Amino acid sequence: MKEELMERAAALPKVELHLHFEGGAPPAFIRGLAKEKHVDLSGIFNADGSYAYRDFWHFLSVYEAATQVLQTPEDFARLTRAVLEESAASGVIYSETFLSPEFCGGGDVAAWREYLHAIREAADAAERDLGIVLRGIVTPIRHFGPERAKRSALCAAETADDWLVGLGLAGDEKQCKPRDFAYCFDMAREAGLRLTAHAGEWGGPDSVRDAIADLGVERIGHGVRAIEDPALVERIAEDGIVLEVCPGSNVFLGIYPTLARHPIARLRDAGVKVTVSTDDPPFFHTTMKKEYTDLAQTFGWDAETLSDITRTAAEAAFCDAATKESLLKRLETA
Ligand code: ADE
Ligand code: ZN
């Protein structure tokens, strides 16, 4: 019976809203680029070739070290293909990814346009070949500070369109407050971008409240620690704020000891709009297929429940109405 649930979960079409672009880079891909470019990255890999880090904060520095080999628009075009091949192999038909101008030209708008162009061309090719649709969310990095974030937000505002659809906020949640980035989010909102921010991953319920109040976001990256405050859970449910939940990431990084103890099911039961994503899949030894099958196995979620979560993600996607309609249609007919 469980086997059948898991097989059906694996085969379902999937929608992912929370995927860090460089965090999706397969380690072999990064090693290959390092070899080509004669960059010594040996310190960031385990003997078995996987990424090596001790904890979340070390993960952030390993992540940044890996980006050293992503030096040109062409490198990002190749990364686009590598990431989308992995996602498509898991059955993902639509993905929103966090892009950081910091890693794509250092926050310079003209350079950013070139990177973005290369990524979009590669995404268009992947859409034709693999049937997966990609959209981008510019994501300043919190621990780089508000001034650098403003440069990224400006890149976002200057390139906002039907492909570059949102602004996010990632990085070390313990550094700076959401209000330090209010200027960036105000600029993005003015430019017509949709808004999300990481909160309630390493910070408690207050970090979620602050992201909602100070940044006006309609989605929260993670947000799972809202569970520690029942009044906040009620409010999120009432306001229809969507959580981009990454269960495998949370368990791998030790926020929860096991998936069974993860609050995703309790949040859903409380009426919160939960969605499922991988965050940084090769870093956390996960895939969208694994996320869905693990949820089926742990919570006994059947195809109907998982499809409902996928539909929630499609409805919460930041893409334009026509793209969303065709996405919902693909889910319906699958
Ligand atoms: N950057 C990449 N992955 C992240 C995560 N899970 N939280 C915050 N920043 C990140
Ligand atoms: Zn994340």
**71-106 pLDDT, tens digit each:** 999 999 999 999 999 999 999 999 999 999 999 999
Residue 258 and residue 294 in contact, taking contact as beta carbons nearer than 8 Å:
no
The stretch 277-287 carries a mean pLDDT of: 98
- pLDDT score of 5: 84
CA distances from 38 to 11, 23, 33, 42, 141 (A): 40, 21, 8, 11, 27
Give the residue whose CA is nearest to atom 8 of ligand 1: 171
Give the residue whose CA is nearest to atom 1 of ligand 1: 171
Mean pLDDT, the chain, as a whole number?
98
CATH architecture assigned to 2-25+74-333 = Alpha-Beta Barrel (3.20)
- pLDDT score of 168: 98
pLDDT band at 28 (very low <50, low <70, confident <90, very high): very high
Query: Which of these is catalytic: 201, 218, 234, 244?
Result: 201
Residue 225 and residue 200 in contact, taking contact as beta carbons nearer than 8 Å:
yes
Residue 244 CB coordination number (10 Å): 25
pLDDT band at 203 (very low <50, low <70, confident <90, very high): very high
- Backbone phi and psi for residue 322, each to the nearest 5 degrees, phi listed first: -65, -40
Helices (H) and strands (E) in the chain, counts: 14, 8
Span between the terminal Cα atoms of the chain, in Å: 22
The stretch 251-271 carries a mean pLDDT of: 98
- The residues, ordered by sequence, that sit 6+ positions from 75 with a Cβ below 8 Å of its Cβ are 33, 69
Residue 60 CA to ligand 1 center (angstroms) comes to 7
Q: Is 3 a catalytic residue?
A: no
* Structural tokens at position 58: 């070390």
- pLDDT score of 2: 78
Pocket test for ligand 1, best of 51, 98, 280 (most atoms within 8 A of CB): 280
pLDDT band at 1 (very low <50, low <70, confident <90, very high): low
Q: Is 171 in the pocket of ligand 1 (CB under 6 A)?
A: yes
pTM of the model: 0.98
Write down the domain spans for the chain: 2-25+74-333, 27-69
